[in-house]
Amino acid sequence: MRERRASCRTMDKAEFLSAPRKATMQLDFLGDLKRTHRCGELRSADAGSTITLMGWVNRRRDHGNLIFIDLRDRSGVTQIVFDKERNPEMHARVESVRNEYVLAVTGMVERRAENTINPKMETGEIEVIASELKLLNESKVPPFFPGDANVNVNEEVRLKYRYLDLRRPEMHANIEMRHRVTLAIRNYLAGEGFYEIETPYMTRSTPEGARDYLVPSRVHPGEFYALPQSPQIFKQLLMIGGLDRYFQIARCFRDEDLRADRQPEFTQIDLELSFPTEETIHGVVEGFLDAAFTAAGYSIERPFPQMPYDEAIRLYGIDKPDLRLPAMTDVKALLPANALETLAVDRALPVVVIRTPKVGELSRKERDEHKTLLSEKQGKVIKFFDDFKRLEKSWPEAIAKIRQLSGAEEGDLLVMVAAPKKAETVAASSGDAAAVRRLQRDSYAVYANAGGFRLALAQRYAARHKAFEGKTFKFLWVTDFPSFEWNEENETWTFAHHPFTSLHEDHMELLNEGVRALHDPNSALGAIRARAYDVVLNGTELGSGSIRIHQQEVQAKIFEALGMDEAEQKLRFGFFLEALQYGTPPHGGVALGLDRIVMILAGAPSLREVIPFPKTAAATDLMMEAPTPVTAAQLKELSIAIKK
């Protein structure tokens, strides 16, 4: 039997499609038959056992008297042998079986002969000699075979047939990891005294930074619920309610433009604590992240380093720094005045050097291509110098100091970035607060554009420096964010995180000053720093949080700074402002994106790979064919008319 088996082969897709099969097959009911093992569990120690497996046909190989079927479930695959000599009737039935048919098989586990062991299968040392077969269901020819790892399937096809896509081992692994990570987080938080509490999906619209998904009310015509962008107000109300420590694996909804790491509905790890300091919250987050990464098979270093927002901008040009590559170095003080003049850069604004490790020698063509990494808008804010050998000829001593200060080693690429000289920026005197803030805004624009250029260079030469390869986890807390940010389009100030974020106590006077200049981009509002923090991993923001405002008069002042008069405050937040008057404790919290964490741990290219039923980049569900029009009767019940 073993010699004959060596010549058996697998049917290719063309043969599968053309192979004759009966128009109708006699299907069996499961009855009281019970599965004894999963398909990926059997090992050589199980030899001699009679077992029952259930699953899908992953592969079928026909060799005359012997038919081999690889049976698959979520745990793996086991080879089943159907021998015509032992059971001709069962062998005849299995001749019509094809990929993705659903079978229940009872049989004896046998060790394979040494020369037939398959080291690529976890069950490769054994096979099951079938003695009983139940054909539970047949399958149409699928648009792709879930068990075929060599087929490149269009993502739209995968999403349309997501129920088939979920059978693929890669998707199984992602969903299993999501389960393990979520369970580890739940267990950790429960052990730290947190209650898991659900909050409503149907609530009122509140300002959270994105558009709401609205739900019309049939009972209250013309009025709408909003799906929550986050449970923000509810979790604060839970603290007012004295529940002390809350968490939720929360579903959230935001109507915003999509990208690889964004979905219209997503899951976040949401928590809130009473009487915390920032360090208390940081410790809890680091604890559940440690548990999550351990569940996925990785270890992380604690405690995470911390960096104020302003320092992050100066060193990395971004509020979510990727620490796997060197920071930028401010080198203006090392350059002589004639260098700044000759290079035609603005002497009042920063001059920084970007270091990209291990790039090696570059050709003239490669250097010329650096220009394409800057957008037209960036080119108006910064200019760069990437030929340090040429700079060295004119200012050898300064360039030597720059190399030393930046930590440059042989083969590293150095690029100097500065603002082009236009009308000379006037240095601000210490007594002119508005001028100081204006100079800071201009300086931060240079840092931000240089930071974007730093990341573009890092991506361009990723294959050389290899900093992005492997599972290196560089966590960081970014703290002390601006409370407000300037909206160029509306020419006013808006909240940077959300309007419930507490500011530093010594910035209250700046708040009082700022509310008198709501439409001035150089208002004192721009200098206010919040007790807000983000947790960042490898340049990706995992989540953000803050210490909340717990005093009613301070919250009302923040609303005033956002341009809300007393009447608007009462209309939009009257219930919350009233709640704050009933002994609200100091409290704070944080929310992290669960989908994003699992995406990073799985090494997936997008969130769609770790969400069972995701939307496309156009916010559509190809499988359910949603969104869809609704009937005129449904619209009439809701008192809604569609304007065409």
For residue 294, what is the domain's CATH number?
Answer: 3.30.930.10
Token output for 5: 């088996």
Judgement on whether residues 78 and 205 belong to the same structural domain of the protein: no
Question: For residue 476, what is the enclosing H or E element?
Answer: strand 475-479
329 and 278 in one domain?
no
Residue 431: predicted pLDDT: 60
Number of domains in the chain: 3
Q: Radius of gyration (Cα) for the chain, nearest Å?
A: 31
The Cα 470–Cα 603 span in angstroms is 10
Q: Are residues 112 and 241 in the same domain?
A: no
The more confident residue out of 13 and 504 is 504
Whether 509 maps to a domain, the answer reads: no
Average pLDDT over residues 471-478: 96
pLDDT digits (tens, 9 = 90+) for 71-100: 999 999 999 999 999 999 999 999 999 999
Is the pLDDT confidence value at 481 over 90?
A: yes
Residue 429: Cβ within 10 Å count: 9
Closest CA to 80 of 133, 38, 130: 130
Give the CATH number for residue 63. 2.40.50.140
Q: In Å, how far from its chain's centre is CA 530?
A: 25
Among 14-18, 161-165, 324-328, 334-338, the minimum mean pLDDT is found in 14-18
Residue with token string 């069996």:
28
**Residue 344 shares a structural domain with residue 287:** no
Last residue of one domain, picked from the residues 113, 137, 161 = 137
Domain-terminating residue out of 399, 432, 465 = 465
Residue 194 identity (one-letter amino acid): F
For residue range 397-455, what is the model confidence (pLDDT) as tens digits?
Answer: 999 999 999 999 999 999 999 999 976 555 555 567 778 888 988 999 999 999 999 99
End-to-end CA distance of the chain: 72
Look at residue 271 and tell me if it is in a domain: yes
Joined together, the tokens standing for residue 91 give: 């062998």
Kindly state whether residues 117 and 6 are assigned to the same domain: yes
Sign of CA dihedral 596, 600, 601, 605: positive
Distance CA 133, CA 326 (A): 62
Alpha-helix runs per DSSP H in 343-422: 364-368, 376-379, 388-394, 396-406
Question: Is the residue at 486 inside a domain?
Answer: no
CATH number where 390 lies: 3.30.1360
Residues 108 and 182 in one domain: no
Residue 575 maps to a domain: no
Cα dihedral: 265, 267, 268, 271 (round 10): 110
DSSP string, 203-231: B----SSSBPPEEE-SSSTT-EEE--S-S
When the pLDDT of each residue in the chain is averaged and rounded to a whole number, the result is 91
Place of tokens 């420590």: 245
Same domain assignment for residues 329 and 291: no
Pair 56, 100: CB distance under 8 Å: yes
Contact 422, 346 (CB under 8 A): yes
Same domain, 453 and 331: yes
Q: Do residues 49 and 131 share a domain? A: yes
Strand partners of residue 248: 270
Q: What is the pLDDT of residue 494?
A: 81
Residue 529 belongs to some domain of the structure:
no
Pairing of strands 102-111, 195-196: unpaired
DSSP state of 253: E
Q: How far apart are CA 63 and CA 319, in angstroms?
A: 63
Question: Which run of H or of E encompasses 591?
Answer: strand 587-593
Instruction: Quick: pLDDT tens for 238-297.
Output: 999 999 999 999 999 999 876 756 899 999 999 999 999 999 999 999 999 999 999 999
Domain end residue (candidates: 412, 443, 465): 465
CA–CA separation, 448 vs 319, rounded Å?
9
Is it the case that residue 46 has pLDDT exceeding 70? Answer: yes
- The answer to whether residue 482 is domain-embedded is no
Determine the 3-state secondary structure of 262 from DSSP.
strand
Residues 369 and 422 both lie in one domain: yes
Give the tokens for residue 587.
């409290």
Distance CA 559, CA 494 (A): 10
Mind listing the pLDDT tens digit for each residue in 492-526?
888 887 888 999 988 888 888 877 777 888 888 88
- What would the two tokens of residue 275 be? 């009487």
Range of the domain at 397: 325-465
Q: Is 152 exposed, middle or buried (0-12, 13-18, 19+ CB in 10 A)?
A: exposed
In a domain, 217, yes or no: yes
483 contacts: CB under 8 Å, gap ≥ 6 = 495, 496, 497, 501, 503, 507, 525, 528, 529, 530, 532, 558
- pLDDT tens per residue across span 161-215: 999 999 999 999 999 999 999 999 999 999 999 999 999 999 988 766 689 999 9
Q: Do 79 and 185 lie in a common domain?
A: no
pLDDT at residue 12 is higher than 90: no
Task: Report, as an integer, the average pLDDT of 334-346.
Answer: 95
* Domain co-membership, 205 together with 236: yes
Dist. CA 376–CA 453, nearest whole Å: 13
Q: How distant, in Å, are the alpha carbons of 187, 298, 299, 421, 599 from that of 474?
A: 24, 13, 12, 37, 16
Q: How far is residue 522's CA from residue 444's CA, in Å, rounded to a whole number?
A: 13
Give a yes or no: residue 20 inside a domain: yes
